[in-house]
Amino acid sequence: MNTADATADRDSGPRAATADRDSGPRAATAERVSRPRAATADLDSGPRAATVERPEPSRAGRVGGKRPAPGPHPFWGLVFPLLVVAVAALVFAVWREGTKLVLDSNNGERRETITDPTAPGYQAFVDPTPTMLVAHLSDGGDLVGITVLARTALDQGGTAVLLSAETLLEPSDDPADAVFVGEVYEAAGMEGLSRLVGDVFGFGFRETLEITTSQLGGWLRLVEPLPVVLDDDLVSVGAGGLVETEYRAGFQQLSGARAAEVYGWLNEGEFDSNRTQRQADLWEAWLSRVGTADDLVAATLPFDDGLSAYLRALGTGSRRLEVLAVVAVSFGGEDPPFFALNEEQKVQLKRLAREMVPLPVGSHLGARPSVSLLDGTGAGLGDQMLPLLVDAGAEITVLGNAAVFGVEETTVAYHLADHRQAATALADAIGASTTFVEDVDSPADLTVTVGWDWAGS
């Protein structure tokens, strides 16, 4: 395909995206596994439905074509103002009590809420780093690529890591557990894929998305044309072995539909790593177009979650876009090679995962024990401990200070007997002791209190 063909196809661009919404971004959103948005499936009932023909009012019963306005009801002049004042007073009282006092669920005592982050007893829940796993599918349902997305704080950027569907991943230290990504998706669907990729990266995904070529084309129409440089001709092989060039190597301006087709294209006999690199180039073109769009909402759709939020963050903020580093491994013969991580690349992936997701969730239930991290010194040692706990497998859900400062010994407390093993493993990793503090209402599985002994270590 040449540039002229791509330009000619632009007429199916933004106007086509409006006319055929079922195949576009809204369909992609409806396919979301973890957080479906039923409301996005039918936007035609929105603003246009509010535009209706208003019938001419009847003149029957009017005097001189006008009807005299009725007098005000006594309720609105006397009772209603008093109700407004009463409700306002009640709301203020509830707010005042809610901000001043909290109920201790253990013994029913009322305690003063602490709002100073430097004061003893201060605690706050922590929001984990937003993450999404995107499975790119052909319209026939075959997995053609995977993208791992993470957003930084306040949507000011993020990271995207792409990996091939032909990658052999080891979710544990046992090489016998290694399995091909594509096979996992075929056998266990998005749930199995999310767990496998999460185990390898060391964090779970708060959202997942399955998106077909047609649905991807709907998203890309919002920012078409997409400039991309193809390193190789993309060809098809017809009947009798006839080879036709569909997309010529070199600079192309692609419509949304054709860019989506290129995203999943794989020449016969071509290494899948080549396709993954083309996908990375298309992601870069997509995010660049989002970042320069005159109307950011129109380029990403007006949703606060799902793919829209990641497009805005990575498109307008600082971004890091990478292809997962792997090595080609061959069994010999005519079989195509597969791709796997060597030991050095596993270390690099662990470092990358820590940078892109500083506050992870587990890849599945129980993968990471939840932890309340409390500073018992008043010197801010809890913040220094945080990355060590994450590396040791903890999910930080609460940050704050111990009830009193001056704690000497660092401890890992478990609140249910079932969490003893997790507490021991975490204590061994940070050089602390364990203790049992029964608390069935604890907001976390474990409580780590940092003492002055850790400052010396």
Give the pLDDT confidence of 174-192 residue by residue, as tens digits: 767 788 899 999 999 999 9
Query: Residues of the chain with pLDDT > 70: what percent?
Result: 73
Query: Residues 226-279: pLDDT tens digits?
Result: 999 999 999 998 887 788 999 999 999 999 999 999 999 999 888 899 999 999
Quote the CA–CA distance of 209 and 132 in Å, as a whole number: 7
**Pairwise pLDDT comparison (112 vs 181), residue with the higher score:** 181
Look over the chain and give the mean of its residue pLDDT values, rounded to a whole number.
79
> What local confidence, expressed as pLDDT, does residue 404 receive?
95
> What local confidence, expressed as pLDDT, does residue 457 receive?
60
> What local confidence, expressed as pLDDT, does residue 71 receive?
53
* 8 A C-beta contact, residue 342 and residue 170: no
Cα separations in angstroms, 431 against 241, 392, 407, 456: 66, 11, 16, 12
Query: So where are the chain's domains?
Result: 3-38+129-356, 76-123, 370-456
- Whether 49 shows a pLDDT value over 60: the answer reads no
3-class secondary-structure state, position 212? strand
> Which residues are paired to 161 by β-bridges?
148, 322
pLDDT-based confidence at residue 34 (cuts at 50, 70, 90): very low
* 8 A C-beta contact, residue 261 and residue 234: no
Alpha helix positions (H), 147-254:
181-201, 213-221
- Whether 408 shows a pLDDT value over 70: the answer reads yes
pLDDT-based confidence at residue 337 (cuts at 50, 70, 90): confident
Least confident of 43-47, 221-225, 253-257: 43-47
The stretch 47-61 carries a mean pLDDT of 38
> What local confidence, expressed as pLDDT, does residue 399 receive?
94
Contacts of 388 (CB under 8 A, 6+ apart): 429, 430
Query: Residues of the chain with pLDDT > 90: what percent?
Result: 58
Q: If 0-12 CB within 10 Å is exposed, 13-18 middle and 19+ buried, where does residue 382 land?
A: buried
**Pairwise pLDDT comparison (95 vs 180), residue with the higher score:** 180
Residue that the structure tokens 């704690």 belong to = 407
Residue 437's Cβ-side half-sphere holds a number of Cα atoms within 13 Å equal to 16
- Whether 221 shows a pLDDT value over 90: the answer reads yes
The stretch 14-27 carries a mean pLDDT of 39
CATH 3.30.450.20 fits 370-456, yes or no: no
Quote the CA–CA distance of 398 and 1 in Å, as a whole number: 55
- Whether 17 shows a pLDDT value over 90: the answer reads no
> What local confidence, expressed as pLDDT, does residue 77 receive?
53
Number of H helices, E strands in the chain: 15, 21
> What local confidence, expressed as pLDDT, does residue 153 receive?
64
pLDDT-based confidence at residue 74 (cuts at 50, 70, 90): low
Backbone angles phi, psi at 266, to 5 degrees: -140, 115
What CATH code is assigned to 3-38+129-356?
3.40.630.190
